[in-house]
Structure 1
Amino acid sequence: MCEMGPVTKIVVTGSGKGGQGWVDVDEARVYTDHPFRAPVDRAVMIDVLNTEAGIGSRVALELTLESAKALAHALLEAAGKSPGRE
């Protein structure tokens, strides 16, 4: 049986669009697990949600390890090019 990896919770400020439309988000959760749909045995899972609204507000991603690494690099690059970066 596949076990879920440790969950890293990150406080975020932003918004996400799910099945119910746009929602303000305040937390991201990153972990590894056996995916529901991604065609791999293990995936990096990213859940972004509004903690007050609960799991129904969740926007979820299942990424291959290679895709997760590419996304991480692209996010760092985009944040580095952002005007007014901190």
Structure 2
Amino acid sequence: MCTYATVKTAIEGSAKGPGGRWFAVTDGVVYFDHPVHAMAEHTLNIDFTAPGDGPSARVAVELTAASARTLIAAIQAALDSAPAVLTV
């Protein structure tokens, strides 16, 4: 079953893309659906993109639901461990 559950957000950061080239990412897209490559029926898929730089300015991740939840907890723990003044 396709969920088509997609969330788009503006982001600020950098990603290492094809050929090891770093580029600024401006858009994040998160969706839960069939993966392209991961060996799972459904995955949480995250795309970090810079649309203005063309289709190659993209980094994609496909995670199982369990791995995505673990990553959420790890991100929260890392942010919580840093001094508040640095995470504004």
TM-score, normalized by the shorter chain, greater than 0.5: yes
How much has 1:60 moved relative to structure 2? Answer: 0.1
In proportion to residue count, which structure has more helix?
2
CA distance in 1, matches of 2:38, 2:48: 18
Deviation at 1:6, TM superposition (A): 2.0
Name whichever of 3-12 and 55-64 sits farther off.
3-12
Q: Cα distance, 1:81 vs. partner?
A: 1.8
1:5-55 Cα offsets, whole Å, 9 max, x none, are 221111111100111411100111000111122111000000001121133
| Cα RMSD (Å) | 1.4
Aligned length: 85
How does the TM-score come out when normalised to structure 2? Answer: 0.86
What fraction of aligned residue pairs are identical, expressed as a percent? 33
Q: Which runs of 5+ in 1 are unaligned?
A: none
TM-score w.r.t. length of structure 1: 0.88
